[in-house]
A and B are shown apart, each in its own frame.
Chain A
Amino acid sequence: MDIATKTSVEISVKSLNLWFGKFQALKNINIGIQKNQVTALIGPSGCGKSTFIKTLDRMNDLVDNVKITGEVVYQGRNILDSDTDVVELRKQIGMVFQKPNPFPKSIFDNVAYGPRVHGVRKKQNLNEVVERSLKAAALWEEVKDRLNESALRLSGGQQQRLCIARLLAVEPDVLLMDEPASALDPIATSKIEDLIYELKNDYTIIIVTHNMQQAGRVATNTAFFYLGELVEYAPTIDLFERPQDKRTEDYVTGKFG
């Protein structure tokens, strides 16, 4: 786990444990997420990878009966502290969900949603931020003539890029992506992957994926989770080609998963 020391670390996780009731879903996780890189989290279903990223923007707060110990240090503070301003945190650490979840509003209103709830009122400013965000999410050309149409009329892949645009409009530092392409067809998936690759210049990205090829294509570093443990964390190419742990090797060679 020497990645953490090489370059600047955006999020540093120390001794993170998480329980749902009596079930321990995360066991002593230690990981340093590099700034302006894509970090992929892989592992079989139920291994804790989604639970892990939901801890990073405190989305697990929405679940009943959760107990969390350890530290997640971001910008010099443990975000798990009870006095953390969760609303402020989620502006900085944003999440793209597994299933595209556009609001039942127009394309424009979806992207303008974040700026509006954070107090941007001027039409001129909203127009700018909507255009900039849609361009950054590689969706502008496809929707610029129909910004007032319902977002639900877009295809699944377009909806997911809209959700990314919606997130970029809030100007976060970190993007958490929970299997963002799992509900999409191959063409839409490759567009999302290209986009992720582009975005890493400006954002720190953590992506949960089932798809190892996808991790290979977009991620600088990859972490392998298994049964709530972080088994191995290494530069992606090393993890795939020279796994240190038997369980990682079995997983990446397709013996289970």
Chain B
Amino acid sequence: MEAKRRELVPLALLWGAGIATLVILIVILAYILANGLPVISWHFLTGEPALWGQTGGGIYSTIVATLAVTSISLLVAAPLSVGGAIYLNEYTKETSLRMVIRQAAEILAGIPSIIVGLFGFLFFVIYLAPFTGGWSMISGGLTLAFMVLPISLRTSEEALKTVPAELREGSLGLGATKWQSITTVVLPTALPGIITGLILGVGRAVGETAAILLTAGGSLNLIQSLRDPGRPMTLNIYNVLTEYRDTTTAYGTAAVLVIAILAITLITDLLMNSYTKKLKGL
């Protein structure tokens, strides 16, 4: 009996540790939504921002800016990460080059975003200004691509690894070329994992602030082209808080951001689940 009671102590502690994650998530979400949801209205989502020096107003231009930088980063990072993962998993053997590339991806993922932002600032905003327009959606999007790339690369590689070797052998055994086997058998089978990786990357891009702060500019004007500066939602939260203590707009923007990320995650999960089921013939 004594021994059993002593077992309860670690069990309770471990249970607490496990539950803590859930509780923290719920507390943050609840707090943001409780404060932010009342702010959200049609006007808030589609309206123009408040005039200089005033609080309130809509966040339409910041939603558009977030969409712009995220799309650019995805367009650049998706082919690079999927292509890189295919190269690593299908075309290289377990050699030092492969380990070096994989290690590089891991280090890239670990670089503080403000430092990636600094590089983006010096390279895209200053050096390549004639092409990127200086502070712009292009500069911000390309900088974000550096942050999306390693996450998507590693998840895509893991997804490709889960494709059974028998399927590749089966395809090659029928006289398909390697490239045919990859495009018609390997990629469709690995697709759910690859998409999940890209979505993780999108989540990172949508939520990134420091790298954007130094590269996208901060203009509240609605962008007219991708070479214009703009203010994605995360940056807006930062700006309205530090400049005006406008907590209302900050909470509202945060709630939109959180709902968007939740929606993307859930919808992707649903789509990929049904795709996987179809793949398995269920």
* Inter-subunit contact B278/A113 (CB<8 Å): no
Which residues of the partner chain B approach A87 to less than 8 Å between Cβ atoms? 175-177
A97 to B173, CA, bound (A): 9
* Inter-subunit contact B166/A99 (CB<8 Å): yes
Which of the four size classes fits the interface of chain B? 20 to 34
Q: Say yes or no: is B6 at the interface (Cβ < 8 Å to chain A).
A: no
A135 to B158, CA, bound (A): 39
* Inter-subunit contact A114/B176 (CB<8 Å): yes
* Inter-subunit contact A90/B185 (CB<8 Å): no
- Output the least CB separation between A58 and chain B (Å): 9
Q: Say yes or no: is A94 at the interface (Cβ < 8 Å to chain B).
A: yes
* Inter-subunit contact B175/A104 (CB<8 Å): no
Which residues of the partner chain B approach A113 to less than 8 Å between Cβ atoms? 171, 174, 176, 184
* Inter-subunit contact B281/A152 (CB<8 Å): yes
Asked whether A59 and B173 contact (CB < 8 A) given A99-B166, A150-B280, A152-B280, the answer is yes
What string of 1s and 0s marks CB contacts (under 8 Å) between A73-96 and chain B? 000000000000001111100110
A59 to B181, CA, bound (A): 14
Asked whether A117 and B174 contact (CB < 8 A) given A64-B93, A103-B185, the answer is yes
* Inter-subunit contact B175/A97 (CB<8 Å): no
* Inter-subunit contact A151/B169 (CB<8 Å): no
Q: Say yes or no: is B189 at the interface (Cβ < 8 Å to chain A).
A: yes
* Inter-subunit contact B281/A117 (CB<8 Å): no
What is the total number of residues of chain A having a CB less than 8 Å from a CB of chain B? Answer: 32
- Output the least CB separation between B257 and chain A (Å): 36
Asked whether A151 and B172 contact (CB < 8 A) given A101-B164, A104-B188, the answer is no
Which residues of the partner chain B approach A152 to less than 8 Å between Cβ atoms? 279-281
Residues of A146-169 at the interface with B, using a CB-CB cut-off of 8 Å, are: 149-153, 163, 166-167
Q: Say yes or no: is B180 at the interface (Cβ < 8 Å to chain A).
A: yes
- Output the least CB separation between B203 and chain A (Å): 27
* Inter-subunit contact A101/B166 (CB<8 Å): yes
* Inter-subunit contact A153/B177 (CB<8 Å): no
A64 to B280, CA, bound (A): 31
Which residues of the partner chain A approach B175 to less than 8 Å between Cβ atoms? 87-91, 94, 114, 117-118, 170
Most buried by A among B166, B278, B281: B281
- Output the least CB separation between B271 and chain A (Å): 17
- Output the least CB separation between A171 and chain B (Å): 10
Q: Say yes or no: is B2 at the interface (Cβ < 8 Å to chain A).
A: no
New A-B contacts (15) at CB < 8 Å, excluding given A94-B174, A118-B175: A59-B169, A62-B168, A97-B170, A103-B167, A103-B185, A104-B167, A104-B281, A117-B171, A117-B174, A117-B175, A150-B280, A166-B170, A166-B174, A167-B174, A170-B174
Please name 9 pairs of A and B residues whose Cβ atoms are closer than 8 Å in the assembled complex, sorted by A.
Answer: A95-B173, A97-B170, A103-B167, A104-B188, A104-B280, A117-B171, A117-B174, A152-B280, A170-B175
Closest 6 CB pairs of A and B: A150-B281, A91-B175, A101-B166, A152-B281, A114-B174, A153-B281
Chain B positions within 8 Å of A, measured between CB atoms, are 93-94, 164, 166-177, 180, 184-185, 188-189, 278-281
